A and B are shown apart, each in its own frame.
Chain A
Amino acid sequence: MKTINRIDNIIEALCRHEDPKSISILEEIGTNSEIDEIREKTAQALIRKNTPESLRLVVSSAGKGINDLSARVAMSAINEILGLNDKTEVLKVLEETMNSEEKSEIKDTARSVKALITYSM
């Protein structure tokens, strides 16, 4: 089995794992990785988890998820959010970010993503 396939499976297992610690592991190792591909896969896994903690990481954290410096990572995270079946949790997190976040860039991104979700619904 190739290394990248093993990593895919590990990320998927952490995504499905019910232990809340899985989110911190994904954050520590995955979202802080210097490889775009790994950050992209980790952000997607965190979004698929669809919990307030995992969504906050990809919506409100600077340089992670939808705020990633890599356009590829940010766009794929937004795409994953738009593909969620249940968007209630992500809409809540986006609302929180728009109201409480100090950084205007993060606020703007959250507003744009919320607008996209509204138009796509």
Chain B
Amino acid sequence: MDKMKISSTKFELFKPLSKQERQEVHSNPFGINFKGNVLAADVFESSKTKETNATSSNPFAKMTNKSKMIASAMVGSMNSFNEAFRSRINSIISFGRQIKDNIANSWEYAKNTEIKLDFKGLTESIASKFNNQYSVNNLLKQPVDDIGAMFATELAAYKESLKA
């Protein structure tokens, strides 16, 4: 029976920077700028502590400086993410609260408002707008002689307007 082999995975995610690259990236002499987060970790440890760390049973003590830097960056970005998330959540909550208040206020207002439909006034206003004496339908209701008189009057007025 053949043995299954899992090929060794290469983690190239954390590629070490060359000295020149590092100098270009590090504009801050006191902290290392890593993807926008200033590292809080003290990367300049004495060799003495390094030795004691190597002998201790704490698994985190074996972490190299590089891995400390990454962990610190991760913690930094997590903190910033938390802050952004919290601020967004807060704004959503306040927005929802505002909507709730508005709805409640509107409901209170609607409850205390009497709704009336003034059909009579509406009909009158529409009638006054469309009740034109010179509309064809209204003219047809009048006797022909009256329409003839109106025709003569309007024609005289039109002649005058053409002269002016």
Contact = CB atoms under 8 A, between A and B. Distances in A.
Contacts of A28: 148
Interface in A71-116: none
Interface stretch (B67-75, B78-86, B129-137): B129-137
- The CB with the most chain B CB atoms within 10 A, among A9, A12, A29, A34, is that of A9
Given A9-B136, A9-B139, A29-B152, A3 B147 contact: no
Chain B interface secondary structure, helix, strand, loop or mixed? helix
Interface residues of B, number: 21
The 10 closest A-B pairs by CB, nearest first: A13-B139, A25-B148, A19-B144, A6-B134, A21-B144, A10-B151, A3-B158, A6-B154, A12-B136, A9-B134
B99 to A, nearest CB: 50
B21 interface: no
- The CB with the most chain B CB atoms within 10 A, among A10, A19, A33, is that of A10
Contact of B136 (A13, A33, A38): A13
A25 B136 contact: no
B144 A3 contact: no
B159 A35 contact: yes
Contact of A9 (B135, B148, B152, B162): B135
B144 A29 contact: no
5 contacts: A10-B154, A13-B140, A25-B144, A25-B148, A38-B155
B134 A21 contact: no
Contacts of A19: 143-144
B55 interface: no
Chain A interface secondary structure, helix, strand, loop or mixed? helix
Contacts of B139: 9-10, 13
Contacts of A5: 134
B112 interface: no
Contacts of B135: 9
A7 B144 contact: no
Contact of A14 (B147, B154, B155, B159): B147
B145 interface: yes
B145 A35 contact: no
Contact of A35 (B136, B140, B151, B158): B158
Contacts of A4: 158
A10 B161 contact: no
